Amino acid sequence: MNNIVRHPIYFALCLLSTVYVAVANSRGWSLGHAIGAPFGRTMNSTRTLNHK
Amino acid sequence: MAARVLDCPQCGAPVTFRSSIAVFAVCESCRSMVVLHGADLTSIGVMAALPPDLSPFQIGTRGEWKGRGFEIVGRLRVEWEQGSWNEWCIIYDAKTTGWLAEAQGLLMISFPTPAGDPLSAEADSYSPNESLQINGATWTVTDVKTVTYRAAEGELPFAAPPQESRTSVDLVGTKGGFATIELDGDEAELFAGEYAEFTALNLANLKPVPGWDGEIEQEKNKTKALSCPSCGAAVNLRAAGQSMAAVCGSCGTVIDTATPELKVIQEADAAVKGLAPVLPIGQRGKLLAVDYEVVGFVSRGDQYSTWSEYLLFNPWLGFHWLVTFQGHWSLIDRVTSMLDESGQTVEFAGTDYKLFAKGMTTVKGVLGEFYWKVQRGEETEVADYIAPPQIVSRETYPGLAEVTWSHGTYVMPKVVGDAFAVPDLPEPEGIYLNEPNPYTKKWREIRGMFFLSLPILFLVWAFTIPTQVKRVEASFVFQRPRVVSTSAPLSTTTSDSGRKEFFELLATMDAREKARAAGIKPIASPSASVRTVTPPTPSPSASVPAEAQQTFVTPHFELTGGDQRLEIEATAAVDNAWLDLDIDLVNAKTEQTFPAPLEISHYTGYDSDGSWSEGSDKASVALAAIPPGEYFLTIEPSADAKISSLPFTVRAQSGGVFFANYLVVLLAVMFYPIMIWWRGVRREKERWSDSDFGP
């Protein structure tokens, strides 16, 4: 427990890494998708059909 | 304990015998030495005065040893060639006589012990470092010396007139064992016991120590002053009774302070003026919760370097050393047992220490006072064993044939500076032999988290992998389109039958597909499940030939639940050729498309190295976080010029994971621990590069 207090950032990294892997797996995120998500972008280039 | 009180034959004052086996006492009133013969007392002379000292013990001091009480009833001041010490006579458990020795700041308790086998009474039969088997235990002789009684007080179990001598053989055993063989004429008496910690004795009725006890704090730093026999300057004794040598700060003469005679141990040396200890002699401080006074300073060196050693004194806890080199500090304590060396390793208190350095050292300069008769030029063979931040050292004194062990711990310079109010201590340089490795410490702190997080991370990753579910699979045949002329208007390039076919196809398509197909003309329909269209002609006036383009569409399929990964895989039996599939995943409702281009290429051949193969007849692409909904795939194939017709299959399946997520997270979790582990290894390498005994 003392070591967690001494290294809170590393402990948080381990915790977040585990959470991230679980969420990324269940939501089908790619690494690029996860990186782009906070900025409203994904690595899947999408477009809508052109009707003309 | 039934005390007997008799009258002093000299002055008539009461003389008390608390112990039933006491036969000798010193009258408190006239200092007559009286010997008990039956019920009568006989005076055998006047006892010499005891030298003043800072001992916290006195007659009447009570304590506990191994769960039973004891009381001090007498004292014998004993001296030998290299110094003197107190032997406090105790009555243990109200019936046994024992001894509490107070020497060089160490405490030893021993009791007369019958030896199983007769002990030799010849002093020559004992030599330092010799091993003896006594009563089934192994003992090592540390020194053999002639001791003389200087003075006494209280009561003793034998007559101890001043200047009476005998031979004393000191022994140490394992785990703090201590013993003495007293040789007197043709008798050899064994006293066996152990080293004792002051704080473990639960002492009461101690003598207040001038300058140290709270009630006499005003006497702080008042010390016993001597006159230098060489220059007459005042020499202050800060650990009177414990100091065996003091250095005149004025002329550098080393004075024997073990006896009141103040003999000169070493003549004056002007070099004493050049010594400038960063911790001044006489400076007091609280280091690691213990009050100390700096009483001595030694400049010691070997052929490569010189370092400083400060002798610290506490009247209850004895002496400690602060050793400093290049701004690094270690607090050193003496070890009271002999340690076993196994090759280049020594085990102490459950820890293995590795040999780091070994060599002869020389005392180059001294200031203050010491518990042994220090001299400039004194040589010591030192071996340092380390287990940072700790160190144990073996010191061998060639002249004394004596071996001592000490144990030290690295102390941060700021701690020393704060303790002794010296704020500007030199900054540490380089890596000291027992300086703690900060990376090793960090590694030890986080390795638990690191090794725990790895399996947890893997298990979480493995158990959250979504099951792969096939959503659609369709087979098509790529047909090389006919080449059409674009030199004529569109209406003229399309046959009536082709136009009919195209509009029949449009009729079967939903509104979106119609919109997509608008402006393109149909060529052929390769299978019932596939609709084939050609792209619109680029321009009625274009003069270059254009290839018609096929577009295939899969049946619709449903993605349920939340966002998910979708993998699209295509297979085609390409042989030294390629097939490009321009695939779009299309949401049937929102018409949002997700491009998923694929290229299947497979080449084989032979060269000078033999056969080779490149590519395969399969390719796949994964789309991330596809929202739920109804989807279909559109595929526009193009192929190597030599392919005129090629069947291929496209399959879409949801589930599975992107391995890069796990890989990157794994690297992130591993990076910091591996980095500090590696830096720790590098630092240890750097430390051991200064040693001749590196791993």
B466-491 average pLDDT score? 74
Does the structure show a pLDDT above 50 at B531? no
Model pLDDT for residues B166-201, shown as the tens digit of each residue? 999 988 876 668 899 999 888 899 999 988 999 999
In this predicted structure, the answer to whether residue B589 has a pLDDT above a threshold of 70 is yes
Spell out which residues of chain B touch residue A29, defining contact as CB-CB under 8 Å: 563, 565, 624-625, 658, 661
CB contact under 8 A, A31 and B664: yes
The per-residue pLDDT for B552 is 94
Minimal CA separation from A7 to chain B, in Å? 7
A31 contacts B660? CB cut-off 8 A: yes
Predicted confidence (pLDDT) per residue in B224-244, tens digit: 677 888 888 888 888 887 888
Out of B82-96, B252-266, B342-356, B611-625, pick the least confident.
Answer: B252-266
Of B466, B512, B562, the CB nearest to A49: B512
Search chain A and give the residue with CA nearest B626: A28
More confident residue, B53 or B663: B663
**For residues B25 and B545, which has the higher predicted lDDT (pLDDT)?**
B25
Q: Where are the beta strands (DSSP E) in B371-485?
A: 379-387, 390-397, 402-411, 469-479, 483-484
User: In this predicted structure, what is the pLDDT of residue B111?
Assistant: 93
Write down the pLDDT at residue A39: 57
> Residue B487 pLDDT more than 70?
no
Residue B279 has pLDDT above 50, yes or no: yes
Looking at B87-91, B339-343, B418-422, which range is the least confident one? B339-343
Average pLDDT on B543-561 reads: 76
pLDDT exceeds cutoff 60 at A19 = yes
Provide the pLDDT for residue B427.
92
Q: What's the maximum distance between 2 C-alpha atoms anywhere in chain A? A: 66
Burial of B20 by CB count in 10 Å (0-12 exposed, 13-18 middle, 19+ buried)? middle
Closest Cβ opposite residue B466 in set A21, A25, A49? A25
Helix (H, G, I), strand (E, B) or coil at B12: coil
A33–chain B Cβ distance below 8 A for any pair: yes
Rounded to 5, what percent of chain B is helix, strand, coil?
A: 15, 45, 40
Q: What is the CA radius of gyration of chain A?
A: 17
B313 sits in which H/E element: strand B306-314
**Rounded distance, CA B642 to CA B603, Å?**
14
Q: Is B692 helix (H, G, I), strand (E, B) or coil?
A: coil
Q: Is the pLDDT of residue B676 over 90?
A: yes
Q: What average pLDDT score do residues A11-15 get? A: 94
Pull the structure tokens for residue B211.
């300058």
Q: H or E stretch including B293?
A: strand B290-301
Q: What is the mean pLDDT of residues B461-478?
A: 94
**Across the interface, which of A6, A11, A42 has its CB nearest the CB of B625?**
A42
More confident residue, B218 or B530: B218
Residues 6+ apart with CB under 8 A from B420: B279, B283, B284, B285, B287, B294
Residue B499 has pLDDT above 50, yes or no: no
Residue in B closest to A51 by C-alpha: B515
Residue B469 has pLDDT above 60, yes or no: yes
CA A20 to centroid of chain Cα atoms: 6
Q: What are phi and psi of B684, to 5 degrees?
A: -65, -40
Asked if pLDDT for residue B512 goes beyond 50, the answer is no
Res B326: pLDDT? 93
Q: Do A46 and B593 touch (CB under 8 A)?
A: yes
Average pLDDT over residues A13-26: 93
Burial class (CB in 10 A: 0-12, 13-18, 19+), B179: buried
Cis amide leading into B14 (omega within 30):
no
Planar angle of CA B260, B266, B269, nearest 5 degrees: 125
Average pLDDT on B649-678 reads: 94
From A25, A34, A47, residue closest to B593, measured CB to CB:
A47
Higher pLDDT, residue B648 or B159: B648
CA dist B254 and B144 (Å) reads 25
A5, pLDDT greater than 90:
no
SS3 state of residue B408: strand
DSSP character for B400? T
Query: What pLDDT sits at residue B100?
Result: 95
Nearest CA-CA distance, residue B539 and chain A, Å: 16
Query: Per the CB < 8 Å rule, is A28 touching B668?
Result: no
Q: Helix or strand or coil: residue B472?
A: strand
Contact A31 B657 (CB under 8 A): no
A35 contact B CB<8A: no
* A26 touches B at CB < 8 Å: yes
Q: What is the CA radius of gyration of chain B?
A: 47
Between B525 and B440, residue with greater pLDDT: B440
Which residues of chain B neighbour A11 with C-beta distances below 8 Å?
Answer: 449
Look at B591 and A43 and tell me if their CB atoms are within 8 Å: no
Q: How many CB pairs (< 8 A) connect A and B?
A: 124
Q: Which runs of E-coded beta strand occur in B427-507?
A: 469-479, 483-484
Q: How far is B478 from chain A (nearest CA, A)?
A: 24
Output the pLDDT for position B409. 96
Q: CB-CB: which of A18, A46, A52 is closest to B456?
A: A18
Residues forming beta bridges with residue B36, ordered by sequence position: B41
A34 in B contact zone (CB under 8 Å): yes
B-chain residues within 8 Å CB-CB of A45? 594-595
Closest CA of chain B from A28, distance in Å: 4
Across the interface, whether the CB atoms of A18 and B566 are under 8 A apart is answered no
Rounded to whole angstroms, the Cα distance separating B80 from B145 reads 7
- Average of pLDDT values for B561-565? 91
| pLDDT for B28 beyond 70 | yes
Give which of A2, A6, A18 to mutate to test B binding, by max B Cβ within 10 Å. A18
Q: What's the gap in Å between the CA of A15 and the closest CA on chain B? A: 8
Give chain A positions within 8 Å (CB) of B669: 13-14, 17
Q: Which candidate from B516, B654, B665 shows the least CB-CB separation from A49? A: B516
User: Above 50 in pLDDT, residue B142?
Assistant: yes
Chain B CA closest to residue A12: B669
pLDDT at B545 (0 to 100):
42
pLDDT band at B222, cuts 50/70/90?
low
Q: Comparing B47-51, B336-340, B483-487, B681-685, which segment has the lowest mean pLDDT?
A: B483-487
| Nearest chain B Cα distance for residue A35, angstroms | 11
Which among B440, B441, B446 is the top mutation candidate for probing chain A, defined by the most A β-carbons within 10 Å of its own β-carbon?
Answer: B446
Q: Would you say B83 and B258 are in contact if contact means Cβ atoms under 8 Å apart?
A: yes
**Residues B607-651 pLDDT 10s:** 888 999 999 999 999 999 999 999 999 999 999 988 989 999 999
Average pLDDT over residues B520-534: 35
Q: What does the mean pLDDT of chain B come to?
A: 84
User: Among B442, B582, B594, B661, which would you mutate to test the A interface (most chain A Cβ atoms within 10 Å of its Cβ)?
Assistant: B661
Report the pLDDT value the prediction gives residue B453, as an integer from 0 to 100.
94
Q: Is the Cβ of A1 closer than 8 Å to some Cβ of chain B?
A: no
pLDDT category of residue B515 using cuts at 50, 70 and 90: very low
**Within chain B, what is the greatest distance between any pair of CA atoms?**
154
pLDDT over 70 percentage in chain B: 87
Sequence-separated (6 or more) residues with CB below 8 Å from residue B671: none
pLDDT at residue number B224:
65
Q: Do B624 and A28 touch (CB under 8 A)?
A: yes
Q: For residue B500, is pLDDT > 50?
A: no
Mean pLDDT computed over B572-594: 93
**Which residues fall within 8 angstroms of residue B506, CB to CB, at 6 or more apart?**
B513, B514, B517
Look at B562 and A27 and tell me if their CB atoms are within 8 Å. yes
* Residue A36, pLDDT score: 64
pLDDT at residue B483, as a whole number: 57
Asked if B664's CB is within 8 angstroms of A29's CB, the reply is: no
Nearest to A21 among B449, B566, B665 (CB): B665
Q: Say what the pLDDT of residue B573 is.
A: 94
